[in-house]
A and B are shown apart, each in its own frame.
Chain A
Amino acid sequence: MPHSVPGGTAALLLARLAPPAASLGVFYLALLHWKPETWGLFHLLLSAQAVLQMAAGLGVDLLIFQKGFAQPQEIPRLLRAASSLLLRVGVGLDAAMVLFVTSVTQEPPSLLAACFLAGAIPAASLAPTWRPRGFRLASPIV
């Protein structure tokens, strides 16, 4: 057992396995109740959202790199501000998608909401556990 295992392997495994397993449970509920068309729309919107959020995160990373050379002491503040901004954008996108899908389908909005929330769980769980020492990127935490 290497001494460098942080926090215990079991806890790390739980953190990685539990969220996708839970989200699969919610997705399974949706598969049970939804028509394929609704599932397709949902899957498509989630895919588009994931790509948009990651592109936004990458843009923020590049901006931080650029600013960091000129004012390195500002990096922690920039990271916090970027995280907050990305969060607002993500929340806005989620809410807009729920309203949109609810308006164009006949599905129960509560199930839609649960599925969109569950869609965010694996995205968050895929945040990297390895980072360069002392540095956090904006893109993985959207």
Chain B
Amino acid sequence: MILEHGTRLLASFAVLTVGGGPALVALAFLVSKWLGTALLFQPLRHLTGTAARLSLGFVVRQALPFALFFAASAFLNRMDSLVLALFLPLADVGFYGAATRLVFFGTIASQAFGLALHPYLLASRSRPERYHHLASTSLAKVAAVSFVPAGFLHAFPSSTLRLLHIDPYLPAASLIAILSLALPALFSSEVFFRCLLAEDRVRGAVRVAVLQIAIGLPSLVVAAFLYGAQGVAMASLLVAWLGALGYLFACQKTGLVLWSRWTMALAFGGTVTAGVKALAPSHSNLALVLLAAYALAAIGHGISRWRDVSNADELPRKMGDNPE
């Protein structure tokens, strides 16, 4: 995987450096993609033993929900830009695209965290109390830490753009301020999703994604028509929080009790964000100090509690009723 990405990256920078006409560009595409994909697909050559496992039950319970979930996720991630393009000129799409790239870059960290968390969840699955503690602790920490980028981007969107020397995109500042509030929901959704995977409940995730599309798509169309790019950003915010709540309820159905710690983390983070936002216009230095202090506290507390995950003696006992 790393080699595949590295190949593409090297090719992109090589073309960027050397320059050239469209034909050279297309040729570079072909070569880099073929090289990268050859590396990526190498394991497929050794694919054996699949035939015995393909049963109707397997397809219906695991393979098909998984395929549907990723298809729905791809559409969810892109439908806002596609809807926006129906109603607004390309410049507005550009502002919105720049805002989403900047804001949602932070979610990569939560995906990496989810990736690292997944084997721990699987390993602790046989011990319900430890599993519950790991899930709730991870969720609370991720939700709390997510307010650090959210608070910064929400309070200082214009400063961020100026800091990056992309002043022509200053109209995107209001979009960044709105979209940044989706970060806590997206960070939390990653933990919820990993819990659903550990419980083998991919179908629950599919239902949430379908619900997001069913509610989000009409909302996006109406918002784009009435309020333009800011309306689309608000609708995207709604879709993100709807997804987080949907995942939460799907996890609750598996026996996990995550509501109380999650809301507590959101309350703390929301309070800090509101404070930073209120201080920012006239006391920007104080707001930054407050945000930095919160970041240190949240990260430090997360690390210290993470080390105690193995101690499951004082955990909630709610998982005892889980039929699985």
- Return the 5 tightest CB-CB contacts between A and B, nearest first: A2-B123, A43-B97, A40-B94, A40-B93, A36-B94
Tell me whether B90 is interfacial, beta carbon within 8 Å.
Answer: yes
Tell me whether B50 is interfacial, beta carbon within 8 Å.
Answer: yes
Do B168 and A110 touch across chains, with their CB atoms under 8 A apart? Answer: no
Interface class of chain A by DSSP = helix
Evaluate whether A2 and B120 lie within 8 angstroms (CB atoms) in the complex, with A37-B94, A110-B15 already known.
yes
Number of CB contacts from chain A to chain B under 8 A:
273
Q: How far is the CB of A44 from chain B (nearest CB, A)?
A: 5
Evaluate whether A40 and B97 lie within 8 angstroms (CB atoms) in the complex, with A18-B2, A79-B47, A136-B44 already known.
yes
- What's the Cα separation between A139 and B13 when bound, in Å? 27
Q: Which of B77-85, B251-259, B272-280, B311-319 contacts A (4 or more CB under 8 A)?
A: B77-85
Do B115 and A31 touch across chains, with their CB atoms under 8 A apart? Answer: no
Contact of B16 among A54, A111, A121 (CB under 8 A): A111
Interface class of chain B by DSSP = helix
Do B15 and A43 touch across chains, with their CB atoms under 8 A apart? Answer: no
**Per-position 1/0 for B1-17, Cβ under 8 A of A:** 11011001101110111
Q: How far is the CB of A75 from chain B (nearest CB, A)?
A: 5
- What's the Cα separation between A9 and B115 when bound, in Å? 8
Do B118 and A129 touch across chains, with their CB atoms under 8 A apart? Answer: yes
Tell me whether B75 is interfacial, beta carbon within 8 Å.
Answer: yes
- Quick one: closest B residue to A43, CB to CB? B97
Tell me whether B211 is interfacial, beta carbon within 8 Å.
Answer: no
Using Cβ atoms and an 8 Å threshold, which residues of chain A touch B164? 28, 31
